[in-house]
Amino acid sequence: MPLTQVSLMKGSKTPAQKAAILDEIYQALRETFDVPADDKFMTINEVDREDLVFGRHFMNINRSDDFIIIQLTVSDTRTKAKKKALFARIVEGLEREVGMRPEDIFINLVETKLENWSFGNGIAQLADRQPVAV
């Protein structure tokens, strides 16, 4: 049930590269977070250079104009080990399939309770499910 939002500089990626970014994130979620097939809700937001502000050297990491922000809203059911595996798998896939530098990939998880999701029809489909750490 992740909601994926990717922000990147306008014109920095081709349509094929943008599709590969979303596909690699989805595959990483499937492999490390046990996300079911077709649980795919994703957007890419392209912003003007002046609207993508980031610390080019924060934490001694040298970032370039190829910088992207990946924000994943997920249920709060995953372990720290699964989160670390997700981050590593996303970076590995984007480096391999899109040619991105690991330094340019910023990932943020926003965790929410199961009752905070409606997948349609105005129903909180998971509201009564008990969270289980996976």
Closest CA to 28 of 12, 46, 63, 4: 4
Torsion angle defined by CA atoms of residues 123, 119, 34 and 41, in that order, rounded to the nearest 10 degrees: -170
Cα 28 from Cα 22, distance rounded (Å): 10
Q: Output the CA torsion 29→34→36→40 (10° steps).
A: -20
- Residues annotated as catalytic are 2
